[in-house]
Structures are given as structure tokens and as C-alpha cells.
Amino acid sequence: MAKCPICGKPAEHEFRPFCSARCKKVDLNRWLSDVYRVPADATPPDEDDKSSD
């Protein structure tokens, strides 16, 4: 059985992949607080082309 990514307890079917509503809310709060980030390039590719003009 999969483990909860927040606390490591076994995941419950109702809250999958989490073990409880609490861990589900902790994860949501981390996303909303920018704790989790998706890496991105610092400069969009189309702006690189403008600097060469």
C-alpha cells in the first residue's frame, strides 16, 4: 500500500494519496504558499531573440 507523502502513514482510499483530510489540506497549503514550485527558465525563449537585434 502507498504511503502518505506528508506523514508517511498508509494512504486511505478516501483521501488518496493522503492518509487523512488533514494531510490533504497541508499539501494544498504548501502549494498555495509557494513551498512547492515547478522549475522554469528565468527568461522566456522569445525574449532571448529580441536581445540579438
| pLDDT per residue of the chain (53 residues) written in tens, 0 to 9 | 799 999 999 999 999 999 999 999 999 999 999 898 888 777 766 655 555 55
Q: What pLDDT shows up at residue 32? A: 94
Q: How many CA atoms lie less than 13 Å away from 18 in the CB half-sphere?
A: 11
Q: What pLDDT shows up at residue 40? A: 79
The amino acid present at 44, given as its one-letter code, is P
Q: What pLDDT shows up at residue 37? A: 83
Place of cell 540579438: 52
- 50: cell is 529580441
Q: What pLDDT shows up at residue 43? A: 72
The amino acid present at 18, given as its one-letter code, is F
